């Protein structure tokens, strides 16, 4: 029987996902992980006030969420010191990244990212027919000069940078970012992904300037606010660029309960400060565990720490596999040079205890097979 034809673009794409989830690994292994330290979630969870707000909202889940996200946009604008016209809310940063690529990229257009930079963005570029152009990291950070050169050479409509960075946890100073913005062609949209902004030093975050039509800044409730499972992110930019999201977004993509949770999370800044402190303490502990095992942690401004395993990507992969075999879920970068590292998300003390206990065993086993 003849089937309907896919478009040539869809037919050319691999059937894949940017990340294999821990649930998939657990199903394949036939047992659960005892420490979930690989997905950059917040193992500290959301604030009690947020859980209470979600309970209050549970009875109304039969209703669609407000398609305008009105109350959340108003609260975000007040929190950021901008107009609601400068804020677009979506079902996580990943969803918003797809909408941005759809708005600015025609098939064959060049899109610039760092080699090894956030793979979900690259997934959207491929899905809309863009041509990915990558620039290697330098000293485990995005290399702004060559990124700018690639934008100019390729006449790229879109360039992406995460600051602080995923997957390395490193960061650039606000002045460097601002100089990059100032030097960009006016016809190039700059996606500045600040998903880890709450855990970064103040010196890494440039002041908001919503007068620039070629900058979109991305934020999320998935990391420090502990709401990864609720899927809520937002973009900040000039009014005309923000209004364009309404042309193509899923207007009911952010559920009523998600909006209630995000509103409560934003209101509870005391809890956010507490969690940011716990994240900092957990980062320090991961650094100490790495050092005790003869490994080097890369300084991080995120809720994870990349650990340099001291050899090549194959050795780091063996360590990761041995940790997974011992029921510790972690991830690692895949790109050359970066792949010498494994990446450990911060988590509760009990889970870091298990990581500390089992890392030496994983290292010994990886060493034997090298």
Nearest Cα residue to 221 out of 66, 76, 77, 69: 76
Which domain, by its residues, includes 178?
Answer: 48-268
Average pLDDT over residues 252-279: 97
Whether residue 149 has pLDDT greater than 70: yes
Per-residue confidence (pLDDT) for residue 150, from 0 to 100: 98
Q: Work out the pLDDT band at 20, boundaries 50, 70, 90.
A: confident
Q: Are residues 342 and 209 in the same domain?
A: no
Q: Work out the pLDDT band at 1, boundaries 50, 70, 90.
A: confident
* Boundary-marking domain end, from 244, 268, 292: 268
Of all residues in the chain, the percent with pLDDT exceeding 90 is 94
Q: Are residues 65 and 143 in the same domain?
A: yes
Average pLDDT over residues 119-129: 95
In a domain, 15, yes or no: yes
Q: Are residues 225 and 360 in the same domain?
A: no
What are the E-state strand segments in the chain? 35-36, 87-90, 110-114, 131-135, 158-162, 189-193, 215-220, 233-236, 296-297, 304-308, 328-329, 341-345
In a domain, 241, yes or no: yes
Q: Work out the pLDDT band at 51, boundaries 50, 70, 90.
A: very high
Q: Work out the pLDDT band at 368, boundaries 50, 70, 90.
A: confident
Q: Are residues 345 and 360 in the same domain?
A: yes
In a domain, 188, yes or no: yes
| Structure confidence by residue, pLDDT tens digits, 225-243 | 999 999 999 999 999 999 9
Q: Are residues 122 and 194 in the same domain?
A: yes
In a domain, 1, yes or no: no
Q: Are residues 242 and 158 in the same domain?
A: yes
Q: Are residues 355 and 221 in the same domain?
A: no
- 131 C-beta neighbours (distance < 10 Å), count: 14
**Cβ density class 85-108: b for 16+ within 10 Å, e for less:** ebbbbbbbbbbbbbbbbebbbeee
| Structure confidence by residue, pLDDT tens digits, 65-100 | 999 999 999 999 999 999 999 999 999 999 999 999
Q: Are residues 61 and 194 in the same domain?
A: yes
Average pLDDT over residues 132-159: 98
Looking up residue 231, the CATH number of its domain turns out to be: 3.40.640.10
C-alpha torsion sign, points 224, 227, 231, 232: negative
* Boundary-marking domain end, from 268, 289, 316: 268
pTM of the model: 0.95
Q: Are residues 229 and 82 in the same domain?
A: yes
Looking up residue 279, the CATH number of its domain turns out to be: 3.90.1150.10
The mean predicted confidence, pLDDT, of the chain is 96
Q: Are residues 164 and 285 in the same domain?
A: no
Number of domains in the chain: 2
* Boundary-marking domain end, from 233, 268, 303: 268
Per-residue confidence (pLDDT) for residue 370, from 0 to 100: 62
| Structure confidence by residue, pLDDT tens digits, 273-325 | 999 999 999 999 999 999 999 999 999 999 999 999 999 999 999 999 999 99
């Amino acid at each position: 029987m003849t089937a309907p034809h896919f478009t040539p673009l869809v037919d050319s794409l691999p059937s894949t996902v940017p990340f294999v989830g821990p649930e998939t690994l657990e199903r394949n292994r036939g047992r659960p992980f005892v420490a979930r330290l690989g997905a950059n979630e917040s193992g500290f969870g959301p604030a009690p006030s947020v859980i209470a707000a979600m309970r209050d909202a549970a009875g109304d889940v039969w209703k669609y969420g407000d398609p305008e996200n009105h109350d959340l946009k108003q609260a975000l604008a007040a929190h950021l010191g901008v107009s609601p016209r400068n804020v677009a809310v979506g079902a996580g940063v990943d969803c918003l990244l797809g909408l941005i690529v759809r708005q600015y990229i025609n098939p064959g257009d060049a899109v610039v990212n760092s080699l090894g930079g956030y793979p979900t963005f690259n997934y959207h570029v491929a899905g809309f027919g863009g041509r990915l152009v990558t620039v290697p990291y330098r000293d485990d950070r995005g290399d702004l000069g060559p990124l700018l050169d690639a934008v100019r050479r390729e006449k790229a409509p879109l360039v992406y940078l995460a600051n602080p960075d995923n997957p390395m946890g490193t960061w650039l100073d606000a002045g460097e970012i601002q100089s990059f913005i100032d030097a960009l062609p006016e016809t190039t949209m700059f996606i500045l992904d600040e998903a880890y902004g709450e855990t970064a030093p103040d010196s890494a975050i440039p002041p908001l300037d919503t007068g620039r039509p070629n900058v979109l800044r991305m934020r999320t409730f998935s990391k420090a606010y502990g709401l990864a499972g609720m899927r809520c992110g937002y973009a900040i930019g000039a009014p005309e660029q923000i209004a364009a999201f309404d042309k193509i977004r899923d207007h009911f993509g952010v559920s009523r309960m998600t909006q209630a949770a995000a509103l409560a999370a934003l209101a509870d800044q005391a809890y956010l400060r507490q969690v940011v402190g716990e994240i900092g303490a957990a980062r320090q502990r991961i650094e100490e565990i790495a050092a005790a095992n003869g490994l080097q942690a890369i300084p991080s401004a995120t809720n994870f720490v990349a650990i340099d395993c001291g050899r090549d990507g194959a050795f780091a992969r063996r360590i990761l596999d041995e940790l997974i075999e011992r029921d510790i879920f972690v991830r690692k970068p895949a790109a050359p040079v970066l792949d010498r590292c494994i990446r450990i998300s911060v988590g509760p003390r009990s889970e870091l205890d298990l990581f500390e206990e089992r890392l030496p065993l994983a290292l010994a086993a990886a060493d034997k097979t090298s």
